């Protein structure tokens, strides 16, 4: 997806944005709470994301045995619906009721709507329980939510024996057309490893890397973006 930020920069996500050529999207940075900021962004367009699952999710989860999954910052639901299609029972959590309503409507057109619970929740006010076999957080970047807090919450929600999957923008890997000034929202693999103390119990690191991905810019141009990818298993 390509999202034009309030400061005029562009922000590249895992999903390709359908309407990029019509102009950008405003991330409502003047909003003083997460609901207004994200509902405001989603209301700008009838549909923002492609509906396709994020590519790193597909790459990392396709081989896992399905169980109970949590998608943090689930947006319009492309990942949650894909997970349900793979046999997972999914809790899809997002602060934006606008995004969740859209996602639920999309899911209702599939055979898997009953496998997904849509939960409106601000992560800043959420206490996780370690009950999920998979916790996925894809591009959970927000000016109002420090990334160290969101990844710690994601990690805390993983059940013993479960998998943590975190995918985000690498701060030095944004495409050439991006003028994003908020690289403090993004993280390198090394920063992620330090924040989550992945070098010690209970974690076993399966994947910790950055991966380049081809993306389409606001004028249809082709570019490259770099994803930071972590897949780790919590020891039982
Ligand atoms: C950049 S979008 C990514 C959406 C989706 N994961 C994807 O990759 O397409 C970030 C998502 O996180 C959600 N979000 C931001 N801050 C949040 C918070 N404090 N609590 C819960 N969700 C939040 C937003 O509403 C938005 O849907």
Higher pLDDT, 84 or 143: 84
* Segment 72-90, tens digit of pLDDT: 999 999 999 999 999 999 9
Phi, psi of 11 (to 5 degrees): -135, 115
User: Which H or E run includes 94?
Assistant: strand 89-94
Question: What is the reported pLDDT for 25?
Answer: 54
Please spell the DSSP secondary structure of 160-199, one letter per residue. EEEEEEEEEE-TT---TT---S-GGG---HHHHHHHHTTT
Going by their DSSP bridges, the two strands 10-12 and 2-4 should be labelled as antiparallel
The number of folded domains in the chain is 1
pLDDT-based confidence at residue 30 (cuts at 50, 70, 90): confident
Q: Residue 123 and residue 17: Cα distance in Å, rounded?
A: 25
Residues with CB under 6 A from ligand 1: 13-15, 34, 38, 49, 54, 73-75, 94-96, 99, 122-124, 138-142, 145
Report the distance separating Cα 160 and Cα 162, nearest Å.
Answer: 5
pLDDT of 18 > 60? The answer is no
Which atom number of ligand 1 is nearest to the Cα of residue 39?
A: 25
Question: Among positive and negative, which fits the CA dihedral 198, 202, 204, 208?
Answer: negative
CATH of the domain at 7: 3.40.50.150
The range of the structural domain enclosing residue 162 comes to 2-234
Q: Which residue has the higher pLDDT, 215 or 176?
A: 215
Q: Whose CA is nearest to atom 12 of ligand 1?
A: 73
Q: Whose CA is nearest to atom 11 of ligand 1?
A: 73
Ligand 1 atom nearest the C-alpha of 13 is 8
Under 8 Å between Cβ of 144 and 33: yes
Atom 27 of ligand 1, nearest CA residue:
75
Closest CA to 166 of 184, 147, 182, 181: 147
| Mean pLDDT, rounded, for 130-158 | 97
**Strand 132-138 with 158-169, pairing:** parallel
Q: What is the pLDDT of residue 177?
A: 79
pTM, whole model, 2 decimals? 0.90
User: Are 209 and 134 within 8 A, CB to CB?
Assistant: no
Rg of the chain over Cα atoms, rounded to whole angstroms, equals 16
- For residue 13, what pLDDT is reported? 53
Instruction: Indicate which atom in ligand 1 lies nearest the CA of residue 75.
Output: 27
Q: What is the average pLDDT across 33-54?
A: 88
- Residue 74 tokens, joined: 């689930």
Helix, coil or strand: residue 144? coil
Closest by Cα among 221, 19, 169, 46 to 4: 19
Is residue 5's pLDDT more than 50?
A: no
Q: What is the Å distance from ligand 1's center to 75 Cα?
A: 6
> Which atom of ligand 1 lies closest to the CA of 145?
19
């Amino acid at each position: 997806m390509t999202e034009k930020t309030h400061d005029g920069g562009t922000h590249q996500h895992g999903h390709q944005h359908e309407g990029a050529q019509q102009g950008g999207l405003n991330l409502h940075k003047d909003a003083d709470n997460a609901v207004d900021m994200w509902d405001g962004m989603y209301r700008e367009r009838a549909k923002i994301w492609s509906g396709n699952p994020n590519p790193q999710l597909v790459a990392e989860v396709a081989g896992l045995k399905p169980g109970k999954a949590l998608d943090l910052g689930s947006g319009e639901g492309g990942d949650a619906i894909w997970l349900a299609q793979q046999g997972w029972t999914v809790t899809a959590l997002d602060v934006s009721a606008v995004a969740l309503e859209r996602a639920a409507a999309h899911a209702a057109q599939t055979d898997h709507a009953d496998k997904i619970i849509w939960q409106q929740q601000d992560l800043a006010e959420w206490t996780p329980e370690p009950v999920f076999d998979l916790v996925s957080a894809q591009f959970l970047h927000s000016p109002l939510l420090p990334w160290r807090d969101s990844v710690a919450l994601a990690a805390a929600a993983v059940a013993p024996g479960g998998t943590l999957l975190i995918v985000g923008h690498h701060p030095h890997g944004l495409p050439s057309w991006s003028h994003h000034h908020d690289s403090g929202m993004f993280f390198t693999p090394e920063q992620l490893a330090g924040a989550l103390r992945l070098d010690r119990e209970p974690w076993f690191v399966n994947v910790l890397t950055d991966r380049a991905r081809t993306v389409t810019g606001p004028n249809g141009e082709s570019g490259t973006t770099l994803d930071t990818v972590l897949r780790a298993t919590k020891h039982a």
